[in-house]
Structure 1
Amino acid sequence: MTLGLEKTVTKNDALRAGWVLPKSKRDPHGMIVGQGSFKYRVDAHWGRVDRAKIPVENCHGLAIDSKGRVVMMTDEPRNNIVIYSRDGKVLDTFSTHMPGGHSVKIVNENGEDFMYLVDSGWIRNRLWDGHSTEAWDSPFNRVVAQSGFIAKLDMAGRLIFSIGHPQTYGAYRPDQPFRPTDIAISDKGDMYVTDGYGSDYLLQYDSQGRYIRHWGGHDNIDANYNLSNTHGIGIDKRTNTPELIVSSRGAQCLKRFTLSGEYLGTIDANGAYIGGPIFKGEHFYAPVCWSHIDGKNQDDSGFISVFDKDNRVVANIGGTPPEYVNGVLQPMQTTWDVFNHCHGLCVDDDGNLYVGQWNANQSYPMKLERL
């Protein structure tokens, strides 16, 4: 890879120097990425459209409906939902009035698809000072936080119900922030919501949105129940007893719980600030937003991890090959040449991946074609 200057920079050069290549210099289109039986050809142009007609800020969530369409959730209120055909043609767009649009899950209920959407509470600031972009506690930063919410809609975008701040039903104190990040729906319709930008609890609701319980947070006597920036969640149905797999992104791991909240175990993701699982057959995929390098989460260092039926990493797409020494996963990190920050992810029936990114120069989703 090059910096556009006379010097050629290898991955090791970049890691040693702490360099991050400019986004404008990256064009992974046509590259082959991954390891072993998980190799893909990158189609970086798959989701590109006219920015003037269909703008995006961050491509936060992706899901596939029963018709095989790829549904993308963005935090651009003019078109929170963008629906693609499998060949990358836009079929529909509409607003759901979610300035913090963050996650989408699609469930077929009695033959009809429904969208479950999550707004994380982050909004563009109308009082922005014009230059602050990471002053998160400033009232003049480019984005500021408010309370988020969850909503169930039909596929035409009509609202069925919404769920707001847990203080309204006594589960949170008024001073506890609620900024949810992801949702999973069980076979009986229970909803499990990660409050990853708020108070780091995992909340359970029934199919009608009625509160059941919550657990997690930061200050449990048993630290196994603690969650840190719990960013994603999925229901693991690979065995006869379904369980939850929940990201504790700040702790570089995923945690396993029963559907009623009992801790079952931790899945190491050493070096990876990892999101929630997307299941396909005996494996699951998880987006990684940052690699842990030089003691911090480095910008533009995302990749995708693939886990087997034993919850061991078997491939890192856009990352270094996984290695276990005496059963211990060694630190994983980016190869610097494909992604910025992996966030939204879905997989089709042919094993192709569709990837959306946060903070990636307003890029559209790309397709990774399984080889």
Structure 2
Amino acid sequence: MERIIGHNNHRYTVDKEWGSRYANHYSVNDCHEMVMDKNGRLFLLTNETKNNILIYNKDGKVVDNWGHDYPGGHGLSIHDEDENEALYICDHDRHQVIKTDLNGRALMILNYPKETGHYQFPEQYLPTETAIADNGDIYITDGYGLQYIIQYNCKGEYTRHWGGRGNSNEQFDCVHGITIDNRRSKEKTLLITSRNQNCFKRFTMDGHYLETINLPGSFVCRPVIKGDYLYAAVFRSGSNTAFGSGYITILDKENKVVSTPGGSAPEYVNGNLLPQHQEEKIFIHPHDVCIDDDENVYVCQWKAGKTFPLKLQRIA
């Protein structure tokens, strides 16, 4: 009997062999992030320099690979630019963000943001994620560094920055991920992870704080939006030192958790989410999710014994 995980109208069967079944000739270290192009190909970023990018079809077959230059490959975003899609790779070992085409050719390199006045040398800058606006503006999270959001225009010219490490609404503790949200209004906003604070924070596109979405117990990675829902990998739960305690969380556009595959069922008291925890040993350290057009979820994992991505097949 197939194992079913999740809650309410987001339940799934688990295919743990999806990413490894046809990948005998390839290696991974940490599987950090995954995105899907317009043709339905799934691009996996790993910090294994034998093949930093593995390109899958939806059947789990590796159809191409490239990349030997990203020892700290961590964040992967995709953006459609004049009908040509581009990838943005955050490499925290190189202290750079690299824009490439889908074949791996470098198009732009963004170095450490000395223009902010906060960075004296590259080693202070450990970028983890990007989000790209319709006009080409680039937002970068310095999730393992000084905790700033740095905004550039489409040419890579510095525009502004905000955030930094701290406990105020405008600050972060492990600003691990970022995405652009337009689900609730025509006015786009930024959803930004503060992982060690177990929350997402919403900002205007020019960096003004709007609200906090608390997810007690969940050390969330980047927010990923598909349709009306927000999906995120929870790499650990309960404590930042709780090894192997991850799961997936899914929120509706009203910021309510509706399903937690691998985790405890979401429960609200007086409008507040109760702390959640891992309930089933499906995952070790989920680090990212990618959702296809059939609303199946592909899960990448960090520090999980060099395992390949797995697939959650939606059944409800």
- The TM-score bracket by the shorter chain reads over 0.9
Corresponding letter in the other structure for 1:288: V
Contact persistence 2:32–2:75 (CA under 8 A): yes
The corresponding residue for 2:291 is 347
In structure 2, relative to structure 1, the CA distance for the partners of 1:110 and 1:96 (3 Å cut) is: farther
Pick from 132, 149, 166 the counterpart of residue 113 of structure 2. Answer: 166
> What is the distance in 1 between the residues matched to 2:2 and 2:41?
23
Shift in Å at residue 170 of structure 1?
4.9
The corresponding residue for 1:20 is none
> What is the distance in 2 between the residues matched to 1:92 and 1:67?
14
TM-score normalised by structure 1 residue count: 0.82
The corresponding residue for 1:301 is 245
The corresponding residue for 2:266 is 322
Where 1:338 maps in the other structure, the secondary structure is coil
Where 2:124 maps in the other structure, the secondary structure is coil
Corresponding letter in the other structure for 1:212: T
Shift in Å at residue 226 of structure 1?
1.1
Structure 1: gaps of 5 or more residues:
1-28, 122-146
- Give the alignment of 1:236-247 within 5 angstroms: 236-238=181-183, 239-247=185-193
The corresponding residue for 2:6 is 34
The corresponding residue for 1:217 is 164
The corresponding residue for 1:233 is 178
Contact persistence 1:301–1:336 (CA under 8 A): no
TM-score normalised by structure 2 residue count: 0.95
> What is the distance in 2 between the residues matched to 1:354 and 1:323?
25
- Give the alignment of 1:27-106 within 5 angstroms: 30-48=2-20, 53-106=25-78
Shift in Å at residue 30 of structure 1?
4.1
Pick from 83, 86, 104 the counterpart of residue 114 of structure 1. Answer: 86
> What is the distance in 2 between the residues matched to 1:364 and 1:219?
35
Corresponding letter in the other structure for 1:268: N
Corresponding letter in the other structure for 1:226: Q
Contact persistence 1:273–1:297 (CA under 8 A): no
Contact persistence 1:30–1:43 (CA under 8 A): no
Shift in Å at residue 213 of structure 1?
0.8
Task: Tell me whether 1:208 sits opposite 2:155 in the alignment.
Answer: yes
The corresponding residue for 1:131 is none
Contact persistence 1:273–1:288 (CA under 8 A): yes
> What is the distance in 2 between the residues matched to 1:339 and 1:107?
29
Structure 2: gaps of 5 or more residues:
none
Pick from 232, 235, 259 the counterpart of residue 205 of structure 2. Answer: 259
> What is the distance in 1 between the residues matched to 2:165 and 2:195?
13
Aligned-pair Cα RMSD in Å: 1.6
Where 1:250 maps in the other structure, the secondary structure is helix
Contact persistence 1:300–1:336 (CA under 8 A): no
> What is the distance in 2 between the residues matched to 1:343 and 1:368?
15
Shift in Å at residue 277 of structure 1?
1.1
> What is the distance in 2 between the residues matched to 1:297 and 1:352?
29
Where 2:50 maps in the other structure, the secondary structure is helix
Where 1:212 maps in the other structure, the secondary structure is strand
Identity of aligned residues (%): 40
Shift in Å at residue 171 of structure 1?
3.8
Where 1:297 maps in the other structure, the secondary structure is coil
Look at both structures and tell me which one has the larger radius of gyration over its CA atoms: 1
The corresponding residue for 1:157 is 104
Task: Tell me whether 1:184 sits opposite 2:119 in the alignment.
Answer: no
Contact persistence 2:112–2:119 (CA under 8 A): no
Where 2:169 maps in the other structure, the secondary structure is helix
Equivalenced residues, count: 313
Contact persistence 1:290–1:341 (CA under 8 A): yes
Where 1:179 maps in the other structure, the secondary structure is coil
Q: Deviations over 1:58-115 (max 9, x none)?
A: 1001000010011100001111100000100101111150100011111111211111
Task: Tell me whether 1:198 sits opposite 2:145 in the alignment.
Answer: yes
Shift in Å at residue 354 of structure 1?
0.5
4+ residue runs over 2 A deviation: 49-53, 169-173
